[in-house]
């Protein structure tokens, strides 16, 4: 099969296009012909080698985590899907690689695409949708009436998270640049802070949940605006011992991550609040809920730009600029 991959770690590594062996369909697997994928910051972080401390990868390594396509074969024990189904997924770690023509995915990590969605729209949803649901509800316990601050509202995760949080019935606050203020309002944001003119830590207080998608100083300053007992959940900040426990890492790595996460956890303790860094996990059940929300018109896919398969490297470079409004899509086949 045709695939786009890297042969070693490095920020300067370009995607290589070539033929690789097609995946084998196991007993509980569904073999999917990929029609579209979307790129995410995790893709260039993996390329740069920033994740290798936490996860072991082998080369050649096919990047890409979101899948939308058509089922072409099913394993002998598969009961929920059949050949010809239009499906989407964010496969589990170790089985990703959607910049390719084919992929094998466990049926528990799949769901049927929203009925009227294009492959490009479906491909924009899995990683950002699962991340938002797991961060806001599964970890932080978001509920109706909460005040929720979502960093970088016009980005891929932010554009989904705003819509989802508004559906739950919370008061949504977000940051964005001047050009995207009206855009994030159209997604459902109740308060918008233009980060080019105001600092969120100067205008916010008593927030129930902060969804940090930026890390760094934005993460540390988030503890200043929390109410006692509130939550900061981060996907870009400091991993800590809780993540090590979730990933079942060894004692040495756990202790290293405890040290790495010491500042964020110290700030959480001082604020009498909670902190958690997460990697999302695959879930066909939650994807099915996303399908329901899209079909009901509650969630609308947000796509910035669509690239062809041959333009995958340009798509990666475009995403790295950090200016996309919504998701960056790579169309694998027509």
In sequence order, the 6+-apart residues with CB closer than 8 A to the CB of 249 are 54, 257
What CATH number is given for 2-125+302-331 in this structure? 3.90.180.10
Q: Say how many CA atoms lie within 13 Å of 273 toward its Cβ.
A: 27
What CATH number is given for 127-277 in this structure? 3.40.50.720
**Are the beta carbons of 170 and 147 closer than 8 angstroms?**
yes
pLDDT for the residue numbered 334: 74
- Rounded CA separation 39/41 (Å): 7
**Are the beta carbons of 99 and 15 closer than 8 angstroms?**
yes
**Are the beta carbons of 28 and 101 closer than 8 angstroms?**
no
Q: Say how many CA atoms lie within 13 Å of 234 toward its Cβ.
A: 26
pLDDT for the residue numbered 189: 98
Whether omega before 60 lies within 30 degrees of 0, making that bond cis, reads yes
In sequence order, the 6+-apart residues with CB closer than 8 A to the CB of 332 are 34, 35, 36, 37, 69, 98, 99, 100, 101, 309
Question: Where in the chain are the domains?
Answer: 2-125+302-331, 127-277
pLDDT along the chain (334 residues), means of 10: 98 97 97 98 97 94 98 98 98 97 98 98 98 98 98 98 98 97 98 97 98 97 98 97 95 97 98 98 98 98 98 98 95 90
pTM of the model: 0.97
pLDDT for the residue numbered 294: 98
In sequence order, the 6+-apart residues with CB closer than 8 A to the CB of 277 are 233, 234, 235, 237, 238, 239, 240, 242, 243, 261, 264
Angle CA 151–254–250, to nearest 5: 130
- Rounded CA separation 70/84 (Å): 6
Residue 171, strand partner residues:
147
- Rounded CA separation 78/52 (Å): 32
Identify the burial level of 251 via C-beta atoms within 10 angstroms of its C-beta, where 0-12 means exposed, 13-18 middle and 19 or more buried: exposed
**Are the beta carbons of 7 and 15 closer than 8 angstroms?**
no
- Rounded CA separation 269/263 (Å): 10
């Amino acid at each position: 099969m045709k695939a786009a991959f890297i042969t070693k770690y490095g920020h300067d590594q370009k995607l290589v296009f070539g033929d690789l062996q097609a995946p084998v369909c196991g007993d509980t697997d569904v073999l999917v012909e990929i029609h579209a994928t979307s790129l995410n910051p995790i893709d260039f972080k993996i390329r740069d080698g920033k994740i290798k401390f936490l996860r072991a990868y082998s080369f050649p390594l096919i990047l890409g985590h979101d899948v939308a396509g058509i089922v072409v074969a099913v394993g002998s024990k598969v009961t929920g899907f059949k050949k010809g189904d239009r499906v989407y997924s964010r496969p589990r770690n170790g089985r990703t690689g959607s910049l390719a023509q084919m992929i094998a995915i466990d049926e528990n990590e799949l769901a049927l695409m929203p009925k009227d969605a294009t492959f490009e729209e479906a491909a924009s949803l899995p990683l950002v949708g699962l991340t938002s649901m797991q961060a806001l509800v599964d970890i932080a316990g978001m509920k109706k009436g909460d005040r929720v601050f979502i960093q970088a509202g016009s980005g891929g995760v932010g554009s989904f998270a705003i819509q989802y949080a508004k559906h739950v019935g919370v008061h949504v606050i977000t940051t964005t640049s001047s050009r995207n203020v009206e855009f994030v309002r159209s997604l459902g944001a109740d308060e918008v802070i233009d980060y080019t003119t105001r600092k969120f830590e100067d205008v916010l207080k008593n927030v129930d949940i902060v969804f940090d998608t930026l890390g760094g100083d934005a993460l540390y300053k988030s503890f200043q605006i929390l109410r006692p007992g509130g939550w900061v959940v981060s996907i870009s900040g400091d991993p800590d011992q809780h993540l090590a426990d979730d990933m079942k890492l060894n004692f040495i790595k756990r202790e290293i991550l405890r040290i790495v996460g010491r500042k964020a956890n110290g700030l959480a303790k001082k604020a009498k609040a909670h902190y958690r860094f997460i990697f999302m996990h695959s879930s066909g059940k939650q994807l099915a809920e996303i399908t329901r929300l899209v079909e009901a018109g509650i969630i609308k896919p947000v796509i910035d730009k669509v690239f062809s398969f041959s333009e995958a490297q340009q798509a990666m470079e475009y995403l790295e600029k950090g200016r996309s409004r919504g998701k960056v899509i790579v169309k694998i086949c027509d």
